[in-house]
A and B are shown apart, each in its own frame.
Chain A
Amino acid sequence: MTSVDHRSAEEIGRTATGPRPVPELGAQKAAADLSHVDTVLSNGLRLLAVRKPTVPLVELRLRIPFGGTAPLHAATAEVLAETMLTGTARRDRIEIDTELALIGGELDTVVDPERLTISGNGLATGLPTLLDVLADALTAASYVDEEVARESARLVERLAVSRTQPRVIAREALLRHVYGDHPATREVPQAADVEQVTPEAVRALHTAAVLPRGSVLVIVGDIDPERIAADVERVLGGWSSDASAVVMPGLPEVTGGDLLLVPRAGAVQSQIRLIAQSLPRTDPRYAALQLANMTYGGYFSSRLVENIREDKGYTYSAHSGFEFTGTTATVGVDADTANEVTAAALLETRYELGRLAVVPPTAEEVESVRQYAVGSLLTATSSQAGLASQLAALTAAGLGVEWLAEHPERVAAVTVEEVAEAALDFFAPARFTGVVVGDAATLAPQLTALGGVTVGEPGK
């Protein structure tokens, strides 16, 4: 179309010398040891500080368990997260932003039903400022009436936007279908609840729940871990309480059952979301299950992606992965598909679950996911930000640097039989339930014909 004289597609695809062999892998070096300090400070805060001087920066993650069962908890927690960095006794909103900006830094707060997370970064030379602003917000956030009112109003508008995102709608439907009214289902608060949140309630929640005992601070970067421990002890010394941060109530076990077709009139694409009970990282069978999951849908070369994307073109992305909550875990499967192929895609998704359970992965499949599990961990943890996020996730299960360092050995030791056993025990279709969100008028005849699908609103 652009050049007149071009070869045909067939001519382009061959050369005189013909196909060539794929080169062998060379010898792999192990990741460098991470010098670190993992300790509990006098206020009960666990500190994990790791030296990784690849760039002159520092990354920080503070995770505070933030469970709550009060009716307005989710809304109050969301407003708290939005306003925590809008002013303290010592600094107003603009002073906070200016001090952080001058060290090339940022602090962000995010809350979910399990925890409040404060993430930050900046030039390593600015760490004292970063810690000082953090300590100030933890001990003296003021939640002035005006800021709370304004952030609540913004939040209401953002929630409206958020609830039009198909993935948010599908996530909410899935959680309500599986967990009913458990606090874990309130990832996105209701706008009407946010409108009821008062500044007094936010301040009271901060006093009662923003607590060091049971929380974890991860610091990764161009730092000296030994010195950091003393610095943090000094700067955060004023943040103290005898009470412990509140952990979300445990989730009920997911049992298999019908999928719910949740109507979304006029949608041009459907969200398929399946879920089943799984194992946490602390379980001895986790590594085998991790490899089973990758074989199913946990990476691009998986059975699911090859089937419904690369073979049939039903979806742009299909994926399966773990979600770790408290001391438990689930595995989820998701794909977004056009209306006309939704039922066919669900059929294939279930078929691949059944096949994984009863047609064991081959040795070749297991070797592929084994390499991928180790390699992708190396890649993900090769940056400061990646390592900080990975460690923060591990600390939630009481794990740390050692688990990360030893995991390649655990993955290497898994046998093909162990993967097959894990697949049968955890990926059988009967263990799954879930939702399909889409245009019910178009989808219902085919989906209900497949069986195991009912139509309705979740949680009813």
Chain B
Amino acid sequence: MAETSRFTLHNGLRVVLAPDPTAPVVGVAVHYDVGFRSEPEGRTGFAHLFEHLMFQGSESLEKLAHFKIVQSSGGTFNGSTHPDYTDYYEVLPSAALERALFLEADRMRAPKLTRENLANQIDVVKEEIRLNVLNRPYGGFPWILLPPVLYSTFPNAHNGYGDFTDLEQASLDDCAAFFDTYYSPANAVLTVAGDFEPDRARDLIEKHFGDVPHRPAPPKRSFAEAPPAGEVRGQHTDPHAPLPALAVGYRMPDPVGELDAYLANLVLAGVLTDGDGSRLQQRLVHREPLVTDIGAGAGLFGPFEARDPDTFSITAIHSPDVSAERVLAAVDEELEKLAATPPDAQELAKVTARWSASLHAEHDRLMSRTLSLGAFELLYGDPSLVSRLPDRMAAVTGEDVAAAAKALRPDSRAVLLVEPEGGAK
């Protein structure tokens, strides 16, 4: 990957450029520094609903025009809402770079927020929730169901997709306030990656984004809260699930302020569940066997998408003949073993080699690379950190992993039990 460069426009918009001429395509992304943790009480799901509205027209573009222009230029697009940011992106043939910049600038400057579009997108979002949560086995497991058990403050604990009643009450004035507060250029990062000429891109960015008026970025909020003082438990009855499941949630080191400790948790997740030879796969899937599937990971959608506090989770689907307590006891035993005896060099090398390869593969997909550079600028103020991660991961020692395992304490964690309703069709 070529060198990335950065600059900031007068209105505060931060820009990341990452040229790469190997294929005639270009990626453009805008990350806004607001996610569902910033939603006010009574407006669960608002950040995601607002993401939908940003596609519904702007001063220069009628409803539907955004989609049409991207696609009739040969491009693809989407957006997504995370705990601490919301991203918008398109990947297009390189001839369409200026169009993509125009589209993002136009909706950053003057999105058309209408009552009609709000009502329509509330319906679409409700269908999205029915599709992904309500009508599906294990819908929202664990990302919607685990946080309310592990966390006790509204920002961390609430449902990021939103409750239907809250969504239905969202008003146009809520939208206007949300936009003016969070969607200022000073609260955003623009990333351009792929086949383009940096000087020309700079000119085009100045041309299209330069006159988006400055508004101050909102003050950074802390979402800090104390870890649970004991083991906290929650239960959820799933009308569609055929088998019980469980999720264990732990608090992790600050992903930004304690990056190396956070990375040790990523290596730990690999040691626990990555591949047939991993600790929990070997024992719980193959040797005993207690579970159908097991996984561990940092961040409920993956690593590097949230600031502090972030969640380490272990999830498993198991047979009704096996009690959740047996699964938990086996997990605790394996964590204790790791805490007492650090993994050896080969075990670490397995995890870091796979990690390094998967990072290369992620960056070979232009869309992923564009998004990842933008997110690292937003969260870490350093997009080039992405390319240094494999080395930082490789520097994690067995002792670091043992320490991470020791910190996943049974007396400070959340356990969510998912029970099938029974007889579900």
Contact = CB atoms under 8 A, between A and B. Distances in A.
Interface in A19-38: 19-32
Contact of B76 (A19, A27, A306, A376): A376
A316 B131 contact: yes
Interface string B11-33: 00000000000111100000000
B58 A54 contact: no
Given A31-B24, A103-B353, A164-B137, A372 B72 contact: yes
B349 interface: yes
B131 A301 contact: no
A367 to B, nearest CB: 7
A97 B275 contact: yes
Interface in A117-154: 121-123, 150, 153-154
A136 B27 CA distance: 41
Given A158-B292, A385-B364, A371 B60 contact: no
B357 A121 contact: yes
A316 B355 CA distance: 34
B68 interface: yes
Prevailing SS type, chain B contact patch: helix
Contact of B181 (A6, A14, A165, A317): A6
A358 B172 CA distance: 40
Interface stretch (A70-78, A234-242, A266-274): A266-274
Contacts of A29: 24, 94-95, 195
B361 A12 contact: no
Interface in B214-269: 218, 239-243
Contact of B67 (A8, A31, A300, A378): A300
Interface in A296-324: 299-301, 306, 309-317
Given A25-B95, A101-B277, A13 B350 contact: no
B357 A336 contact: no
B353 A2 contact: no
Interface string A22-58: 1111111111100000000000000000000011110
Given A12-B111, A30-B24, A378-B25, A55 B102 contact: no
B124 to A, nearest CB: 5
Of the listed residues B98, B110, B112, the one surrounded by the most CB atoms of chain A closer than 10 A to its CB is B110
Contacts of B397: none
B114 interface: yes
A145 B60 CA distance: 67
A192 interface: no
A378 B102 contact: no
B70 to A, nearest CB: 8
Contacts of A2: 38, 40, 177-178, 181-182, 218
Contacts of B152: none
B84 to A, nearest CB: 15
A363 interface: no
Interface residues of A, number: 95
Nearest to A11: B176
A374 to B, nearest CB: 6
Given A23-B102, A121-B357, A267 B135 contact: yes
A367 B353 contact: no
A101 B73 CA distance: 40
Contacts of B333: none
Given A20-B106, A315-B127, A385-B365, A32 B178 contact: no
Nearest to B358: A104
A375 B176 contact: no
Instruction: Please provide the 5 A-B residue pairs with the shortest distance between their CB atoms, ordered closest to farther.
Output: A375-B74, A104-B357, A313-B123, A101-B350, A368-B72
Interface of A: 1-3, 6-9, 11-15, 18-32, 54-57, 86, 93-94, 96-98, 100-106, 121-123, 150, 153-154, 157-158, 160-161, 163-166, 264-269, 299-301, 306, 309-317, 336-338, 367-369, 371-372, 374-376, 378-379, 382-386
Interface of B: 22-25, 38, 40, 43, 58-61, 63-64, 67-69, 71-77, 91-99, 102, 106, 109-114, 119-128, 130-131, 134-138, 172-182, 195, 218, 239-243, 274-277, 282, 285-286, 289, 292-293, 317, 319, 346, 349-351, 353-358, 360-361, 363-367, 424-425
Given A161-B137, A314-B127, 12 more contacts: A6-B181, A9-B175, A9-B176, A13-B110, A22-B69, A26-B97, A98-B346, A123-B353, A123-B357, A157-B319, A313-B122, A379-B93
